[in-house]
Structure 1
Amino acid sequence: MKKLICSFFLNMSIMLHAAVSDADVLKKIVNLKIDILKSQNTNGSWNSSYKVGMTALCLLALIHSDSDIKDEAVVDAIHYLLNNSDKKTYSEALVAVVLETINAKKYKMRINQSYSFLEAAQKKNGAWGYTINSIASDNSNSQFAVMGIDAARRAGIPVNKAVLDNAKTYWKNFQNNDGSWGYSGQNRGMFSMTCAGVASVYLLGERLYSKPNACGDTVINKRILKGLENLAKNLKGKAARIQGRLYSLYALERVAIYLGLKEIGGVDWYRWGAEHIVNNDKIHTLSDKAFALLFLAKGSAPIAVAKWQWKGDWDNQKEDVKFWTQYSSESLGKKLDWLVSPITKLDAPAAKASLIFVNGRERFRMNDYEEEFLKSFLEEGGTLLAEVSCQDRTFINSFKREMLKRFDPELKPKFVPISDAHPLMQSKHKLKLKDIKALEFRAGCKQYNIIILMANISNALNGDVDAQMDLKRARKVSDNLIAWSLQNRRATKKLDKVELKITKTKKILSADQLKHKAAKSTIGIEQAFARLRHNGNWLSSPNYFITLQSIMKKNSKLPYYDAEVYVQPSSNDLFQSAILFITGSQKTNLKAEDHINLQTYIQNHGRIFITAACSNKEFDKDIKIQLKRILPNDKLIKIPRTDKLYNYPIKISKLPLSATRAYIKKYGKRYQDLLGIRRNNKWVVVYSPIDLSSDLSNGAQESIVAYKEKSAFALSVNILYNALLP
């Protein structure tokens, strides 16, 4: 069996088509919508021998392609469906599907009418024909009937168990020995009808994978597997013929979405179908246009979650992420998708995601390529989520060791319990700490979104029987995780290639080397932005300068720095820059010779700008001691609010405070004082005890006291601008 499964899922079939992008798909979606809307009648319907069914099909395609339910065309189509019925199986099934999709509660009465018809129209053999009076039955009508009944069930309508049991018996009895289904009975298998069979038995309660015990073995449904093997075989042998029928492509998509398959027989079914549709200018019939629009629109959701295919037992719960994204799509009101991906290359499919999920029970290991990917992904705001599986600490303990060893070990990182002020706690639902039981990665003020869940969610999401009592909590936690990760990093759609930027330690140039570049300044200054190296986590907020400079260079009136350089406190490189930036979250441990050099720097018209990373008290206490040693005859005082530092070029008093929740809780909505040392009517030292660099680097966590982007930028600009004035 294991060999059979591997041959199905790993068999690669190469099918060449003109490559398409997400932009190509969007353009085709727009054009198909325009064509469909052009043919709508004034009463809201579309013409066909199945006028009600065609209207429901076109409306379903428009809704899935993000048409507003308030659009006139949509309102008219709904009105038509509410007031008309042609008593046909296709039609009533599609009416139930589209109205449940739009608003199950509002249209429950009409959905119930559709269900009543479908129940009455079922034949003794468990199948359906074209009408309630049809003698013959077929698998095409039957699959739509099952879709309609499932929609009624989701709408809260009680479904007769006998109807479901009879339908399930029918589909099981008439599957051919090769795994296929024919148009009726046990006729020769057809691709579209095999899709119908697999999709129908799924909607009737069968699953490809099941786990009676969350920590036990996965049971594989042989009936569904045989159907999928038949589809894979036909995809290779009859590709052109299958592509030519849009009905078949839509049937294939339903199977893939229901079962959570990203490939069938090694074929990326969505890319394969999208390439055919986008490059096909012969889609003429209204039904083909609707099926094409449904295929493109339903499969084009952005990738919210990537399941990390690491070299270990990465897939203990095979459908956890599938159901996770389905649940959260409904809860958050957003189309969301997922994928499985290794992360050994910077352009791995996981680069499209906002969140990477990893779990297991075995010892976790990662290689240098995976480390490079993760560093780049995390620097771009991505979230890495790991989870305890079956209370086995082997995986999670080894995961912790790898993270702490590979990510900024010089900062002595650690995992600490997440606080109730963390933005994850309220990104969708208001969670309690007992709901999530999470640890977060901390390395000074390093903003890496690495979370460990000590309370498992994947077993319940996967549908494991003995974990269903925990489903409500698991769904809330999973909603919050996706909502938070989407805020931090944009999810990308599946067709476009995404490649992460390589994250490397910046080359440390001396100020003299930098000056030789002869770069120009918008205010006539050729200048380096110098950051002081010391022993107190001096590289906190590593991207602060990059973000600050990218904003400042858009305004010719603001100072321009050629680049950031890292300087030792005892180095003569200090004297090549007019501004010296100091930050950190630990003691600096400056020496006597450092004090002398920094004093000389100030005496030679240098300016020092300081902020405490994470508003750290240890750094705050230490830097005040160091300033007394550097300038023993000067005092660090509050800078008056009337000073130019608060008023030019940005008037701080006119700018609403932007700060973390922890700041607001501690200080309210008032800016805190800047401190400074003044000589000859100039502020030679400006110090903000409140962190104003973290949010401009990678985003400040809500649990730390810090200014956020607008306020942090305004204060930084004013300090830097005034430091460079004569």
Structure 2
Amino acid sequence: MILRRAGLTLLLSLSLLSLPCVGTLQAQAPEDVNRAIERAVDFLKSKQRHGIGNWEEMGDYKGGVTSLVVLSMLLADVSPDDDRIKKALVYLRQVPPEYTYVVALQTMVFAEAKSDFGLIRRNAKWLMETRLPSGNWSYGRRGGAGDNSNTQFALLGLKAAADAGVNINEEFWKKSRQHWVNSQSNVGSWGYRGIGDATGSMSVAGISSLIITSRQFASVKKGFVDGRAVRCDGALIDENLRRAIDWIGRNFSVSRNPAGGNEVWLFYYLYGLERAGRLTGQRFFGNHDWYRLGVRFLLTQQRLDGSWSTPRAAQGPYLLCNTAFSLLFLTRGRIPILVNKAQWGAGDDWNNAPNDVNNLTEFMSKTVWKKRLNWQSVDLKVADVAALLQAPILQMSGHEAPRLPVAQRTLLRRFVEQGGLLMADSNCSCGSFDQGFRTLCKDLFPGPGQELKRLEPDHPVWTSLFDLRNLADDWPLFGIDVGCRTGVFYSPKDMSCRWEFPTEEASLPAFRLGANIIAYAVGPEDLLDKLDVRKVFDDVPEDEIKRGYLHIAKVRHNGDWNPAPRAIQNLMSSLQEIAKIDVIRQQRDIEILDPNFFNYPLVYMHGRNAFTLSKKEKETLTDYLESGGVLFADACCGSERFADSFREMVEELFPGQKLKPIPVEHELFTQEIGYDLSKVKLSKALGSREVAPVLEGLEIDGRYAIIFSPYDIGCALERHQGSDCKGYTHEAALKLASNVILYALKQ
């Protein structure tokens, strides 16, 4: 007879009174930001002039405010087919090129709306022709001295034109960059004109302009040799950029325009701060988390009508500009992070190809997924697991051996165990990094079956996005299986330096291989909002057995019985936190013939290969189930081998009976048990569809004694799902498994 633990039924009944959604563990900030964005868009829409289709302009700068407002709305996902946008575009097409601000913003609007390439090309030509001999821009054809504000916008417009397909030669970008180098102060700042009178708004403009111009030409010391092989003998370290980033870190603020900045342009500064943070890949300036701090400030400063203002700029076109600048900060800054670039070691060896991850991210964003994506760098010396998990991929490369201290090795291991993917390559195919990374892998994952091994052409990474099976022989790719999927990918052949050259045909295989590794791990629909916080399941020591606490055992069988070793631990941690059940978080690994087997009200079974039970094991398991026990099982990544073997076992336990689909209307899937599971989401291997849950069961005396999922649950509980893993998402798996446990405890 099954021995129920004292007090468990009472704890269960209390937990069922109110079971929240899994998502309630996340901060509410993303929803707050979305509401602020909606209110701002509604405010801007309400201020459009119905007759002409424009917004109130600033002085003689016809089209300037309208362009800025339309740009902010487009980036807030207002469709170019929206009637207000269409009307504004008609108006902007009639605005001739005359002022630098207007021409640049107009170009950015046309590029974002993917329209009017002829006007984009016209505007780019105008901007190139109006640049001053010193490499900067004034207000326009009327002349006057150049300034850094006009120059910043001119470069933003030209970048938008270049991204749209306008050819701008490398020498033009180099001369424009030289202006910013020449006008930077010794401490790293910029003013409106020249070196003096530093301001925050002009200093973030300088950071963005250095990045925009330098990305138009290679940032490694040597490029292609004979148009094929890359030699990246170290990065061209941008000391100007480094000094500027340090200056912002020392003078950081979100509530004022730092140094001598005019407070009228506070929101203009914030718009520049967002761009500087995004383009540099910096999550922090100094120790300041710029986006989260900026969001907090803007949410507290938004007015009831959805606008933003300062006391000296509270009406008319200034109000429109400040609202548009704030909207741009919120919308651009929240773009999901696809890849974190690992900053490791004491020097710059981690950054031999400064634009590698940026270019790979742009390849995924523009060529593959057609979705706005971003990247950032993370310093392993100060990062925690939650910071690394903000992106699904962590990229690492270098020339020298990565000799990491224990704390950083632990950080990498926990990141991968929590569902992250480590992608590494050896710059210039250097032997030092190659040997060092192989040693690092042995330290990270010393367990049996976790060796770094070459991936054969039938591994799903070769076909996860592009069919690269013909590349497998010439491009060795190694991996480590962690849980249910490959969690570490390593290329001893250089990828990242090739990513530095996105327009070279010889780089395309490297881009496609990087894209396949990313697509193996994650789909575009799985990416987190930048403000979302992924729950970290902590390592827990072996719990002391306590009376009245729920403890689940995992069945040891002669197949691969433990492909998801942390699944039960993660599930129990979630039940403890959400359902408030007292649990033993560590799973008990148990054989069916163990004398303590009958002490567990529910046992869990998992695997990917076929297995068999002895006659005595079958008899014992039958007695266990007929005595009130529950067997919960799932096929690892939808393995048909395990599923067939499990169904065969059930027929041997109970001759003449088979597993049958559990009806969707059964209480197991209802809030009477726990969660409403009328619809659950499948993994990307099954199309990321929302469907009715698929569980099979066998009833004994009116209760389900065996509950089986032919789709993966265990790997999903670990967030370990590759592109070939047929199962449920992590959130759906948590809910399904929680309901199964709660149902079993009620019987």
Normalising by structure 2, what TM-score? 0.70
Query: Is 1:307 the equivalent of 2:341?
Result: yes
Q: Counterpart of 2:121?
A: 112
How far apart are the structure 1 equivalents of 2:410 and 2:487?
Answer: 16
**Match for 1:39 among 47, 52, 74?**
47
Change (3 A) 1:221 1:208: farther
The letter of the residue matching 1:292 is S
**Preserved contact between residue 622 and residue 653 of structure 2 (Cα < 8 Å):** no
Verify: 1:30 aligned to 2:38, yes or no: yes
Q: Work out the CA distance in 2 between the residues paired with 1:180 and 1:609.
A: 62
Shift in CA distance, 186/370, structure 1 to aligned 2, threshold 3 Å: closer
8 Å CA contact 1:301–1:337 kept in 2: the answer is no
Q: Encode CA deviations 1:194-218: one digit per residue, 9 max, x unaligned.
A: 5445544554447895432644233
The residue that corresponds to 2:258 in the other structure is 239
Match of 2:270 among 249, 262, 266: 249
Indicate the SS of the match to 1:503: coil
1:7 matched residue in structure 2? none
> How far off its partner does 1:94 sit?
1.2
In the comparison of the two structures, how many residue pairs are matched? Answer: 664
Of 716-725 and 115-124, deviating more is 716-725
Give, in angstroms, the shift of residue 108 of structure 1. Answer: 0.7
Inter-partner Cα distance in structure 1 for 2:640 and 2:42 = 61
- Does 2:311 match 1:280? no
Separation (CA, whole Å) in 2 of partners of 1:294 and 1:450: 36
- What residue is the counterpart of 1:668 in the other structure? none
Shift of 1:427: 4.6
* Counterpart in the other structure of 2:391: 353
Structure-2 separation of matches of 1:684 and 1:168: 70
Distance 1:294 1:589 in 2: 60
Written as runs of structure 1 = structure 2, the 5 A alignment for 1:613-624 is: none
The change in CA–CA distance for 1:225 and 1:387 in structure 2 (over 3 A counts) is closer
Counterparts of 2:387 and 2:41, CA distance in 1: 29
Q: Partner of 2:597 in structure 1?
A: 574
Q: 1:338 aligns with which of 353, 376, 389?
A: 376
Q: Counterparts of 2:735 and 2:249 in 1: how far apart (Å)?
A: 59
Q: Aligned to 2:49, what secondary structure does the other structure show?
A: coil
Q: Which residue of 1 aligns with 2:363?
A: 327
Q: Structure 1 residues 96, 603: closer, same or farther in 2, change over 3 A?
A: closer
Q: CA deviation at 1:133?
A: 3.2
Q: How does 1:581-592 map to 2 (within 5 A)?
A: 582-583=605-606
**Paired letter, 1:351:** L
Q: Secondary structure at the match of 1:413?
A: coil
- Which residue in 1 is equivalent to 2:540? 504
Letter in 2 for 1:481: I
Counterpart CA distance in 2 for 1:157 and 1:599 is 73
Q: CA deviation at 1:99?
A: 1.1
Using the TM superposition, give the Cα deviation of residue 220 of structure 1 relative to its aligned residue in structure 2, in angstroms.
Answer: 2.7
Stretch moving more, 613-622 or 32-41: 613-622
Alpha-carbon separation, structure 2, partners of 1:591 and 1:686: 19
Q: Please give the secondary structure, in 2, of the residue aligned with 1:115.
A: helix
C-alpha distance in 1 between matches for 2:488 and 2:706:
34
Are the equivalent residues in 1 in contact too, given 2:421–2:488 (CA < 8 A)? yes
> What residue identity is the alignment partner of 2:80?
I
Give, in whole Å, the separation in 2 of the partners of 1:704 and 1:685.
Answer: 30
Q: What is residue 413 of structure 1 aligned with on the other side?
A: 450
**3-state SS of 1:452 partner:** strand
Query: Given the superposition, is the C-alpha separation of residues 691 and 155 from structure 1 closer, same or farther in structure 2, using an over 3 Å criterion?
Result: closer
Counterpart check, 1:541 vs 2:551: no
Is residue 136–residue 146 contact of structure 2 (8 Å, CA) maintained in 1?
A: yes
1:645 aligns with 2:659: yes
Corresponding residue for 1:14? none
Does the 8 Å CA contact 2:147/2:192 hold for their aligned counterparts? yes
Between 1 and 2, higher relative CO (CA 8 Å, sep ≥ 6) is seen in 2
Relative distance call for 1:98 and 1:406 in structure 2 (3 A) is: same
Provide closer, same or farther for how the CA distance between residues 65 and 598 of structure 1 changes in structure 2, counting only shifts above 3 A: closer
* Compared CA separation, residues 277 and 709, structure 1 to 2 (3 A): closer
Structure 2 SS opposite 1:97: helix
Structure 1 residues 706 and 639: alpha-carbon distance in aligned structure 2, compared to 1, 3 A threshold? farther
Is 1:211 the equivalent of 2:225? no
**Cα distance, 1:355–1:221 mapped onto 2, change above 3 Å:** closer
Secondary structure of 1:305's match? Answer: strand
In structure 2, do the counterparts of structure 1 residues 28 and 595 end up closer, same or farther at CA, with 3 Å as the change threshold? closer
Unpaired segments ≥5 residues, structure 1: 1-18, 520-527, 554-560, 628-633, 665-673
1:533–1:290 Cα change, 3 Å: same
The Cα shift of 1:91 comes to 1.0
**How many angstroms apart in 1 are the aligned matches of 2:560 and 2:167?**
62
2:203 & 2:571 partners in 1: Cα distance?
58
Distance 1:348 1:549 in 2: 20
Does the C-alpha gap of structure 1 residues 391 and 66 become closer, same or farther in structure 2, counting only changes over 3 Å?
Answer: same
> Superposition pairs for residues 197-208 of structure 1, below 5 Å?
197-200=206-209, 202-205=211-214
**Distance in 2 separating the partners of 1:55 and 1:31:** 18
Distance, in Å, in 2 between the alignment partners of 1:547 and 1:172 is 52
Distance in 2 between the 1:299 and 1:99 partners? 21
Q: Distance in 1 between matches of 2:295 and 2:248?
A: 18
Kindly indicate whether residue 259 of structure 2 is the aligned counterpart of residue 220 of structure 1.
no
Q: Are 1:153 and 2:162 counterparts?
A: yes
2:509 matched to 1:473? yes
CA apart distance, 1:180: 5.1
Q: TM-score, normalised by structure 1?
A: 0.72
Deviations 1:646-704 (A, max 9, x none): 2554699xx99x9999999xxxxxxxxx999x9x9999998999886655554786787
Q: Verify: 1:82 aligned to 2:90, yes or no.
A: no
Distance in 2 between residues matched to 1:191 and 1:725, nearest whole Å: 62
CA distance in 1: counterparts of 2:191 and 2:95, whole angstroms: 32
Distance 1:180 1:371 in 2: 37
CA distance in 2, matches of 1:424, 1:594: 39
Q: Which residue of 2 aligns with 1:290?
A: 324
Alignment partner for residue 453 of structure 1, among 491, 494, 498? Answer: 491
Q: 1:166 to 1:293 in 2, by over 3 A?
A: same
- 2:91 is aligned with 1:72: no
Max Rg structure: 1
- Are 1:378 and 1:384, in contact at CA under 8 Å, matched by a contact in 2? yes
Q: Distance in 1 between matches of 2:325 and 2:685?
A: 51
1:97 counterpart residue number: 108
Letter in 1 for 2:471: K
Equivalent residue, structure 1, for 2:150: 141
In structure 2, do the counterparts of structure 1 residues 222 and 88 end up closer, same or farther at CA, with 3 Å as the change threshold?
Answer: same
Contact residue 302 and residue 491 of structure 1 kept, 8 A = yes
Cα 1:239–1:276 change in 2 (3 A) is farther
Select the residue among 66, 73, 95 that pairs with 1:55.
66
CA 1:531–1:297: 2 relative to 1, 3 Å: closer
Alignment check: 8 A CA contact 1:52 1:85 kept = no
Secondary structure of 1:359's counterpart equals strand
Judged with a 3 Å threshold, the aligned counterparts in structure 2 of structure 1 residues 92 and 702 are, in CA distance, closer, same or farther, namely closer
Distance 1:570 1:338 in 2: 52
Change in Cα spacing, 1:717 to 1:243, as seen in structure 2 (3 Å) is: same
For 1:294 and 1:408, the matched residues in 2 are separated by: 47
Q: Which amino acid in 1 is paired with 2:70?
A: L
Alignment CA distance shift 1:211-1:22 (3 Å): farther
Contact kept in structure 2, 1:343 and 1:350, CA below 8 Å: no
Q: Structure 1 stretch 574-583 or stretch 317-326: which is displaced more?
A: 574-583
Deviation string for 1:373-408 (max 9, x for gaps)? 455544443222222332234444444454455547
Q: 2:733, 2:531 → 1: CA distance? A: 37
